[in-house]
Amino acid sequence: MQGIKVGQVVGRASYNCDILFRVIAVNGSNVELFGEEMRLVADAPVNDLVIMEETERKQHSKLFQEKEESCYQLFRQDRRLIREQTEYEITSGYTEKHAFFELPGRILHIDGDPLYLKKCTAVYDRLGVPVYGVSIPEKEMPLQVGSLIEMVRPDILVVTGHDAYMKNKGGKDELKAYRNSKYFIDAVKEARKVVPYMDNLVIFAGACQSYFQAILRAGANFASSPERINIHALDPVYVVAKVSLTPFMDRVGLWDLLKHTLTGERGMGGIETTGKLRRGIPVEQEEMEE
């Protein structure tokens, strides 16, 4: 097919256009692609690409939006239950009236895709989670993560972008078979040089089909992808938002956490971790009136 341009949304005919991609670069007869909804990077020959019409894109997008909204509503429901429990504890079983304020864990979100970063930031804002977001190419993440941690002083770090497992280059336990897992692993190692303890800095790292086991061994609390499947662009957001909004005296339930993601335990995993939310009193009168 002729006329493929950077920025176009396409599907791969050989995969029945199951995933929509953005064209990132055209190199002669080959094209580099980033997933529209999935954190997947791929190469494809030009003659395998199908330009997606606006109506097809809208239909595809609608399905993902419905899934995203379902995850959001489930998250909000759990959040209300936690807050009701907090109110009960702070008010001595509702026998005394006490207002309180909450300080969610602060997130540093480093993303290899600026469009995904914008989408993720919008969801953080919707969930009421404080975030500092920056877009950096994956290969530069290990070089910049340390200084960003020093500057932002986050409670939670996200290192994500695009990745892919290429079985023609090696087995699942060979780092050379992964597109960007090396950079995620190195970024986690650099972050742990700054903050060694897992409960002082909670780390999520990885993208589609990433080398899950190696990322955890590097020092991450959570990672993708245990079964080397594609993960949704927002999966990292729901994982770390759950940590941010869980009280620091509580552990984040792993199964409870994974139910908030779009890909579940096949795409996400991790270790027991304490929450980052802190509560306080009293509330200023001006805040109560607002």
pLDDT tens digits for range 222-254: 999 999 999 988 899 989 999 999 989 889 888
Residue 16 has pLDDT above 90, yes or no: no
Range with lowest mean pLDDT among 9-13, 97-101, 265-269, 278-282: 97-101
Closest CA to 215 of 241, 188, 192: 188
What local confidence, expressed as pLDDT, does residue 43 receive?
86
Encode 159-197: b = buried (16+ Cβ within 10 Å), e = exposed: bbbbbbbeeeeeeeeeeebbbbbbbbbbbbebbbeebee
The bridge status of strand 30-35 relative to strand 251-252 is unpaired
pLDDT tens for residues 185-203?
Answer: 999 999 999 999 999 999 9
Confidence label for 279 from pLDDT (cuts 50, 70 and 90): confident
User: Does residue 22 register a pLDDT over 90?
Assistant: no
pLDDT at residue 52 greater than cutoff 90 = no
CA distances from 195 to 5, 199, 202, 220 (A): 43, 10, 10, 12
Q: Are 188 and 182 in contact (CB under 8 A)?
A: no
User: How high is the pLDDT of residue 260?
Assistant: 74
Q: Nearest to residue 214, comparing CAs of 171, 256, 255?
A: 171
Q: Does 38 have pLDDT greater than 90? A: no
Q: Rounded distance, CA 225 to CA 210, Å?
A: 5
Note the pLDDT of residue 1.
Answer: 46
Per-residue pLDDT at 27: 85
Q: Which residues contact 188 (CB under 8 A, 6 or more apart)?
A: 159, 203, 205, 215, 218, 219, 220
Q: pLDDT tens digits, residue range 115-143?
A: 999 999 999 998 999 999 999 999 999 99
Residue 10: what residue type? V
Contact call for residues 90 and 279 (beta carbons, < 8 A): yes
Beta strands in the chain (DSSP E): 9-12, 21-27, 30-35, 41-45, 49-51, 101-103, 107-111, 131-135, 156-160, 202-205, 222-223, 251-252, 269-270, 273-274, 278-280
220 has pLDDT over 80 = yes
Higher-confidence position of 174 and 64: 174
- Please tell me what DSSP assigns to residue 36: S
Looking at the predicted structure, is the pLDDT value of residue 288 above 50? Answer: no
